[in-house]
Structure 1
Amino acid sequence: MGLTVYDTADLPAEDRFEWWREVVSQGAGATDVTREDRAGFAGSMEVLSLGAARIATLSYAGLRSQRTARLIRRSDPETYELTLLLGGTMGVSQARQETLLRPGDFNVWSSSLPYDSQSAGEPDGSARAVVLHLPRSFLPLPAAKVDRLLARSLPSGSGVAAVFARHLTSVVREAQSLTSVDEERLGVMTWDLATAFVAHHVDAADRLPPHTRHQLLLKRLDLFIEDNLADPALSPRQIADRHHISVRLLHRLFADRKETVSQTIRRRRLERCSADLVDPRLRALPVHEVGRRWGFTDAAGFSRTFRGAYGWTPGEHRRTRPAGFMASAG
């Protein structure tokens, strides 16, 4: 387990492309990677192991990647690869289907079928993507249905896809600070969300185990809370109503956590205020307006709540903490 970092910057320029080809082939099965300008190639990759699942974050110059029938016969890890494109474009072809991916699009491809992709970078020359490697045998869905998603563009702007995309990018962002216990737990959660994402697109949500549906609903609730912290009316009742569940069920979903729903809202609001108070760009914004930005409509109440959580007032926080500092609300 743990995070492994690969970077061509550590190698002589003439060795970088060949080394990259070898590293990439170790991840998703042997792949024929080609590029006209090999001398100008640069790439980096971080691989995070989460039990059976692996997340790879890649940044690389444009190239072509092919997995042929010959390479499949030589070795097949029998995985699905879920790619979230973050930058650049990528043309993908598999199973007689093809598509052009743009930033924010998901794509599913199989290591067991011939595959062809052509990536082009952004103006700075690099393409960026997050790839989740999933063993096919672990996905509790009919392979025939899943294969219908191959080489299709699946936007991540809303619904289950948005929840899944935010989860992947947040795991990647915090990868260096995760413990082995964190990785185990996040592996289960990642697996559940990936399964829910695929099931949604193949109309097989009813086949998901109760635990997976439970985790997906929790992630949707977390995302809703995160997106609505500035709304003073945000409350357990509003959250439950928007998700068509009872307040009782909402509280039961949070029962295994250290915080209640209201405590979660309060902590996240205070953390946003903490960050804004020391943001140089917001230095001219009065303290009470910082609180108002995140749902604290009463200035005196905001000050009391902030002091109760951190031990000092919002004004003291602004005067004594360095830029970028974020206190942890207890």
Structure 2
Amino acid sequence: MPAVPASATPPPLRQWTTDVVAPAARLDYWVGAICEAFLEMDCSSREAPMFDGALVSLPVETLSVNQVRASTQDVYRTPSGIARSQQLPFYLIGQAESAWHVRQDGQVAYLRPGDVVLVDSARPYELHFPDGVNCVSLQLPRVWVGQWLAQAEARGPRVAWRDQGWGQSLGALAVQLARDPTSAQALSPSLLSNHLGALLGAALEPSQPPTPSAVRSLHVRLCALLRARIDQPGVSAEALAKEAGVSVRTLHRAFAAQGHTFAGTLRKMRLERAGELLRRPQLAHVAVAEIGRRCGFADASHFARAFQRAMGASPAQWQRGG
């Protein structure tokens, strides 16, 4: 799994907190903060006299990971707010700890912690948090969503349930980011973007029962192509899909149909190859870092950590037969 290079400078976090203003001004400050961080919206709260809120925003390529922690509130995306907005992204929202509900296009979705919902900011909606907010709100550009969903502009709130299909994985990712948005930096931006897109498509638009032979054949072909390139750092789903003559969405669905992901398969192949090379007597003189490099790990420390987690032994111990 590619890591963010140690030399790379992490993107800057943007932060807002009501602690910087007097209690009487906090709700007004909060409305300004969510409009600046997201887009034009109105907000009310029955706890206005003692409102408390904090917002952290982390850019990830064209996406944005936003952690919101605040008092109970009701958020409204209105026609006038839409008219004032320059951008009309989608938002994928999930709460980590309490129930809430969404209303859009005359439909209401009641959500539990771990459920996630996709809402379209081009149409009015309401977000109601009766027990406070501890959520992640992932800002997704319309073009990006269109790359992963065939029916990107379907009406109503679109829910991925935490206990159904790939909604389990998508919900777990949302809860993780709600609790620690900086954990997004554990993956390279492109890998996180692809992983999120693949889960989004699989959870919201599950494919029809595939023709087993055709899907297995494509999966086998993709694995063969991937296996031939695991020594190359930065192998991407886009490049592999182009070589296979399929769309990125089709590639990810082929892995999903077998219960795997592109990123997980690549990581497993690289570590298995590394384990094989470390045990070859003729390579006993080759440094561990060089073995990692030959298996696509550009960073030696990341290789050592990933190998230890997967194999239960360090690369050096494995090389000695321990």
Q: TM-score range by the shorter chain?
A: 0.5 to 0.7
**1:49-88 equivalent positions in 2, closer than 5 A:** 49-88=59-98
Q: What's the offset of the Cα at 1:115?
A: 1.0
Are the counterparts in 1 of residues 149 and 201 from structure 2 also a CA contact under 8 Å? no
Distance 1:51 1:97, change over 3 A: same
Distance in structure 2 (CA, Å) of the matches to 1:143 and 1:191: 9
Residue among 163, 183, 189 paired with 1:157: 163
Q: What's the offset of the Cα at 1:82?
A: 0.9
Residue deviations 1:162-181, cap 9 Å, x none? 22233344456664477698
Distance 1:37 1:167, change over 3 A: closer
Q: Equivalent residue for 2:43?
A: 33
Greater shift in the superposed pair: 10-19 or 254-263: 254-263
Distance in structure 2 (CA, Å) of the matches to 1:50 and 1:114: 26
Q: Equivalent residue for 1:193?
A: 199
Q: Equivalent residue for 1:211?
A: 248
Residue among 124, 130, 133 paired with 1:127: 133
Greater shift in the superposed pair: 99-108 or 152-161: 152-161
The one-letter amino acid paired with 1:243 is: Q
Q: What's the offset of the Cα at 1:116?
A: 1.5
2:157 partner SS: coil
The one-letter amino acid paired with 1:65 is: V
TM-score (norm 2): 0.62
Q: Equivalent residue for 1:5?
A: 15
Distance in structure 2 (CA, Å) of the matches to 1:46 and 1:137: 24
Distance 1:35 1:310, change over 3 A: farther
2:90 partner SS: strand
Are the counterparts in 2 of residues 68 and 114 from structure 1 also a CA contact under 8 Å? yes
Are the counterparts in 1 of residues 101 and 109 from structure 2 also a CA contact under 8 Å? yes
More relative contact order in 1 or in 2 (CA 8 Å, sep 6+)?
2
Distance 1:178 1:309, change over 3 A: farther
The one-letter amino acid paired with 1:77 is: Q
The one-letter amino acid paired with 1:64 is: D
2:151 partner SS: helix
Q: Equivalent residue for 1:308?
A: 317
Distance in structure 1 (CA, Å) of the matches to 2:166 and 2:273: 21
Distance in structure 2 (CA, Å) of the matches to 1:135 and 1:101: 23
Distance 1:204 1:115, change over 3 A: farther
2:126 partner SS: strand
Q: What's the offset of the Cα at 1:134?
A: 0.8
Q: Equivalent residue for 1:238?
A: none
Unaligned runs of 5+ in 2: 1-10, 216-240, 276-304
Q: What's the offset of the Cα at 1:21?
A: 0.7
Q: What's the offset of the Cα at 1:57?
A: 1.3
Distance in structure 2 (CA, Å) of the matches to 1:197 and 1:262: 33
Residue among 279, 286, 309 paired with 1:268: 309
Percent identity between the two aligned chains: 16
Distance 1:217 1:66, change over 3 A: same
Q: What's the offset of the Cα at 1:105?
A: 1.3
Q: What's the offset of the Cα at 1:55?
A: 1.2
TM-score (norm 1): 0.60
Distance 1:25 1:70, change over 3 A: same
Distance 1:61 1:145, change over 3 A: same
Residue deviations 1:63-88, cap 9 Å, x none? 11111111111225221111112122
Distance in structure 1 (CA, Å) of the matches to 2:319 and 2:16: 40
Distance in structure 1 (CA, Å) of the matches to 2:50 and 2:319: 51
Distance in structure 1 (CA, Å) of the matches to 2:259 and 2:136: 32
Residue among 48, 52, 56 paired with 1:42: 52
Residue among 99, 117, 126 paired with 1:107: 117
Distance 1:4 1:266, change over 3 A: same
Are the counterparts in 2 of residues 254 and 261 from structure 1 also a CA contact under 8 Å? no
Distance in structure 1 (CA, Å) of the matches to 2:259 and 2:197: 25
Q: What's the offset of the Cα at 1:157?
A: 2.2
Distance in structure 1 (CA, Å) of the matches to 2:266 and 2:147: 28
Residue deviations 1:30-85, cap 9 Å, x none? 00111233121111122111111111111111111111111111225221111112
Unaligned runs of 5+ in 1: 221-241, 272-303, 314-330
Q: What's the offset of the Cα at 1:11?
A: 3.2
